Amino acid sequence: MRLLLKTTIAVVVGASLWGSTALFYPMSDSFGSDFTPPKNKPTSFHLSNFYSDSEEFEYLEKQINRFIHRENIVGASVAIAKDGQLLYAKGFGYADKESHDLVQPYNLFRVASVSKLITAIGVMKLYEAGQLSLDDKVFGLNGILNDTIYLNYKDKRVEDITVRHLLEHSGGWTTRWGDQMFMPTTIAKKLNKSLPINESDIIQFVLDKRLHFTPGQSSYYSNLGFMILGQVIAKVSGLDYEKYIQTNVLYPLGIYDMQIGGSHRNERAESEVIYYEPDLTFFVDDYTGTGEQVLRTYGGNDMHTLGAAGGWIASTTDLMKLMLSIDGFNTFPNMLNRESIHIMTTPSNPGYSPLGWRRITSNSWVRTGTLAGTSALLVRRDDGISYVFLTNTGNWKGPALASDITRVMENGIKKIKDWPEYNLFEMDHTWASNRKRPQVIY
């Protein structure tokens, strides 16, 4: 087999193939809050497309290439794992169309609402550490966010909002008058302040209005609720939200590249792709209030305030590590215990959202994400197969594009009869150099 030879060569050559300083930092199996990241932050391991050039995946690749051509997608990245082993990681199309840079598995993409899963994991880490309860109140004198600026609320029912309500989108808000995370000009005018606004401004704005429904009595998808959860994590942990997630969730997995993304093109992270919109698109006001007309992909949205709800950037391989660490199987070291995983995947009421995940079915757990210039899909199947699909191109189908991606992936995976026996994670020395027996969760 072609890839068997390549894998053998890669193991012999070792770290020099990636040029990543992360290769000599071991992955932690403890996942404790006292984990200390390296002083000089390394990068995550960097596989190239070369290592997934295998005949087993030829049919799948044909389907993906047809799909991205049909949907006018400039670039995409795909990772597939089975039984805790990374078996496929490959890029398609361009990370930067103008310079003809091809997508590689290590390229970073905006992951939009996949960020909500990341935030939910952070909340569950605090829950396991005994630092908060899911039934803790968020607002009011006895709430977590009891700062003076949040005590002047119009609707007393906000005192009943719990951490669980925010996680399951039952906090009491809808988008009847617009999504609160995408109306900075309206909020700035209401608060009589200049753009840009921040998370605290948005929270004060919504607290000055009545809730749309009583907390816990319905479930309505809310970006706002997860932004507030980011503030909860910061308040409880005493750390900046992004830093808490990196230190307690990502670094112990050997994931060093994931971060909150920038809003403008000149704020791109190292290895981050360029984002593209459909040809017939429109311009919007820059969120900073400069008055400049910009594309939504670069300046139309404030990625920092979206943060906990939709601001993260990541590679497919890093997202795969993260997903495997909470998949409930015993084939990969588990970050959360079985109780936490059960809580996250078991809605409290019929029709309510699971915690962090978008959808739980009889045979899969699904998390989708859509934002101008990107679409993201994570799927964990009950048969041990998981996959991640990221794009750098907007599509007028919006969230519906995830259904098309799912069909492409499921049809392609169905044709794979002989799965490879290697594990691409073994080529990452952050994983392989200090690997222990996977932790068993009870």
Q: Rounded to whole angstroms, how far apart are CA atoms 210 and 208?
A: 7
Q: pLDDT tens digit string along 232-258? A: 999 999 999 999 999 999 999 999 999
The number of beta carbons lying within 10 Å of the beta carbon of residue 362 is: 5
Q: Is the pLDDT of residue 371 over 70?
A: yes
User: What pLDDT is recorded for position 46?
Assistant: 84
Tell which wins on pLDDT, 13 or 194. Answer: 194
Band of residue 282 on the pLDDT scale cut at 50, 70, 90:
confident
Q: Rounded to whole angstroms, how far apart are CA atoms 345 and 365?
A: 8
User: What pLDDT is recorded for position 376?
Assistant: 98
Q: Is the pLDDT of residue 436 over 80?
A: no
Band of residue 279 on the pLDDT scale cut at 50, 70, 90:
confident
Q: Which two tokens stand for residue 4?
A: 């068997």
All domains of the chain, ordered by start, with CATH?
A: 60-111+255-421 (3.40.710.10), 121-237 (no CATH)
CB 302 within 8 A of CB 184: yes
Q: At what angle do helices 58-70 and 401-414 cross, to 10 degrees?
A: 160
Q: Hey, is 78 helix, strand or coil? A: strand
Q: Which amino acid, one-letter code, is at 223?
A: N
Buried b or exposed e, range 130-143, using 16+ CB within 10 angstroms:
eebebebbbbbeeb
Contact partners, residue 180, CB within 8 Å, separation at least 6: 173, 187, 202, 205, 206, 223, 224
Q: Rounded to whole angstroms, how far apart are CA atoms 308 and 115?
A: 6
| Residue whose token pair is 């700035």 | 188
DSSP one-letter string for 197-258: P-HHHHHHHHHTS--SS-TTS-----HHHHHHHHHHHHHHHSS-HHHHHIIIIIGGGT--S-
Q: Is the pLDDT of residue 176 over 80?
A: yes
Q: Hey, is 353 helix, strand or coil? A: coil
Q: pLDDT tens digit string along 224-236? A: 999 999 999 999 9
H or E segment to which residue 365 belongs: strand 364-371
Q: pLDDT tens digit string along 288-327? A: 999 999 999 999 999 999 999 999 999 999 999 999 999 9
pLDDT, average across residues 376-403 = 95
Supply the mean pLDDT for the chain: 89
Q: Rounded to whole angstroms, how far apart are CA atoms 389 and 114?
A: 11
Q: Rounded to whole angstroms, how far apart are CA atoms 362 and 395?
A: 29
DSSP one-letter string for 279-317: SS--EEE-TTSS--EEEIIIIIS-HHHHIIIIIEEE-HH
Q: pLDDT tens digit string along 98-152? A: 999 999 999 999 999 999 999 999 999 999 999 999 999 999 999 999 999 999 9
Q: C-alpha distances in angstroms, 149 versus 203, 241, 359, 416? A: 9, 19, 35, 56
Q: In what order do the strands lie in the sheet with 312-314?
A: 109-110, 312-314, 259-260
Which of 278-287, 342-351, 359-368 has the least mean pLDDT?
278-287
Contact partners, residue 96, CB within 8 Å, separation at least 6: 273, 274
Burial of 280 (0-12, 13-18, 19+ CB in 10 A): exposed
The number of beta carbons lying within 10 Å of the beta carbon of residue 275 is: 24
User: What pLDDT is recorded for position 398?
Assistant: 84
In total, the chain counts a number of residues equal to 442
Q: Rounded to whole angstroms, how far apart are CA atoms 59 and 64?
A: 9
User: What pLDDT is recorded for position 269?
Assistant: 97
Q: Rounded to whole angstroms, how far apart are CA atoms 300 and 295?
A: 6
Q: C-alpha distances in angstroms, 291 versus 195, 212, 282, 285, 298? A: 10, 32, 15, 6, 14
Q: Which amino acid, one-letter code, is at 308?
A: A
- ω into 350 cis (within 30 of 0): no
Q: pLDDT tens digit string along 25-73? A: 334 344 444 445 555 556 777 889 999 998 999 999 999 999 999 999 9
